[in-house]
Amino acid sequence: MKQATVADLARRIEEVSRSSALGPRVRQVEVEAEDSVEGGAFLRVLLHFEHPDELEWTQAEPLVRSIEDAVAELDERFPSVRFADAA
């Protein structure tokens, strides 16, 4: 089973985020490994954007899919990546 450190995953997620079409708007990327109530592991990814109120899901969806794919390439423990809802 492929495994990477959270730090390595965070670096890769940051690279993917910054190189995306939304890259210029990304202010910060936070990544945390968590355990769900159901007992499974997942990554909590928080993307902080400039002017998030102007961002539509259709703009962010390709980035979300790219991050999920990048994580899956490095680590099989995290079959899902959860993105916190916007506050």
Q: Is residue 1 part of a domain?
A: no
pLDDT tens for 26-53 read: 999 999 887 766 767 778 889 999 998 8
Q: Is residue 78 part of a domain?
A: yes
pLDDT of residue 87: 43
Residue percentage of the chain with pLDDT more than 90: 52
Residue type at position 80: S
pLDDT of residue 76: 85
Q: Is residue 62 part of a domain?
A: yes
CATH of the domain at 47: 3.30.70
Q: φ and ψ at 48, to 5 degrees?
A: -105, 120
Domain assignment of residue 53, given as a range: 6-83
With a cut of 60, say whether residue 74 has pLDDT above it: yes
Our CA angle for 76, 32, 40, nearest 5°, is 50
1: tokens are 């089973």
pLDDT of residue 44: 85
Which carries the bigger pLDDT value, residue 57 or residue 21? Answer: 21
Q: Is residue 53 part of a domain?
A: yes
* 1 band by pLDDT with thresholds 50, 70 and 90: confident
Q: Is residue 51 part of a domain?
A: yes
How many distinct structural domains can be found in the chain? 1
Q: Is residue 36 part of a domain?
A: yes
